[in-house]
């Protein structure tokens, strides 16, 4: 079983890794103006209770991503993936949460969505903790 501490540890490693990457990119292109978009908006870790395995995911466009069936089904119950609905400002499937959960489902096919676990969600640029959005709360309603 993944502990809350393991999840938080995983997401904090992810933030460090993202910061290193952004620094590397910026150093190798010193004449390019730094952009906020160099960072993913959000990052979160997701674990599976039965195994202790923990993965992290970052927010990104879902357009070229094939979500695993159980997550796809949940997302599409809200609205088509890649679109917005009035209840939430985020694009369906763009959040870090489904990206992280998708890796759990890929690794443990048939896993029970009730046994997913999430870390807090963070904005890696500022390391600020953020609330889960309405889309994510409804997608992972058993655990968020």
Which residues are CB-contacts of 135 (< 8 A; sequence separation ≥ 6)? 75, 78, 85, 87, 88, 90, 92, 95
Write the binding mask 43 to 82 for Zn ion: x where contact by CB under 5 A, - elsewhere.
----------------------------------------
- When asked if residue 15 is in the footprint of Zn ion (CB under 5 A), the reply is no
Q: Which of 45, 95, 111, 116 binds Zn ion (CB under 5 A)?
A: 95
- When asked if residue 136 is in the footprint of Zn ion (CB under 5 A), the reply is yes
State in angstroms the smallest separation of the CB of 118 from Zn ion: 10
Range in contact with Zn ion (rule: CB under 5 A) among 4-12, 76-84, 87-95, 110-118: 87-95
State in angstroms the smallest separation of the CB of 134 from Zn ion: 8
29: exposed, middle or buried (Cβ count in 10 Å: 0-12, 13-18, 19+): exposed
State in angstroms the smallest separation of the CB of 1 from Zn ion: 24
Task: For residue 138, give Cα distances in angstroms to 45, 63, 130, 141.
Answer: 18, 20, 17, 5
61: exposed, middle or buried (Cβ count in 10 Å: 0-12, 13-18, 19+): exposed
State in angstroms the smallest separation of the CB of 31 from Zn ion: 35
| Partners of 54 in the β-ladder | 47
Comparing CB distances to Zn ion, the nearer of 24 and 126 is 126
Residues lying near Zn ion in the complex (CB under 5 A) are found at 95, 133, 135-136
């Amino acid at each position: 079983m993944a502990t809350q501490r393991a999840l938080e540890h995983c997401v904090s490693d992810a933030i460090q890794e993202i910061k290193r990457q952004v620094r590397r990119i910026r150093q190798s292109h010193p004449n390019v103006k730094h952009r906020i978009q160099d960072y993913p908006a959000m990052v979160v870790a997701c674990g599976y209770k039965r195994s202790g395995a923990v993965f992290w995911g970052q927010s990104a466009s879902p357009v070229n991503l094939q979500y695993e069936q159980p997550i796809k089904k949940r997302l599409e119950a809200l609205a088509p993936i890649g679109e917005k609905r009035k209840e939430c400002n985020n694009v369906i499937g763009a959040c870090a949460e489904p990206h992280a959960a998708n890796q759990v489902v890929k690794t443990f096919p048939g896993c029970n969505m009730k046994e997913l676990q999430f870390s807090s969600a963070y904005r890696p640029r500022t390391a600020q903790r953020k609330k889960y959005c309405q889309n994510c709360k409804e997608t992972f309603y058993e655990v968020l």
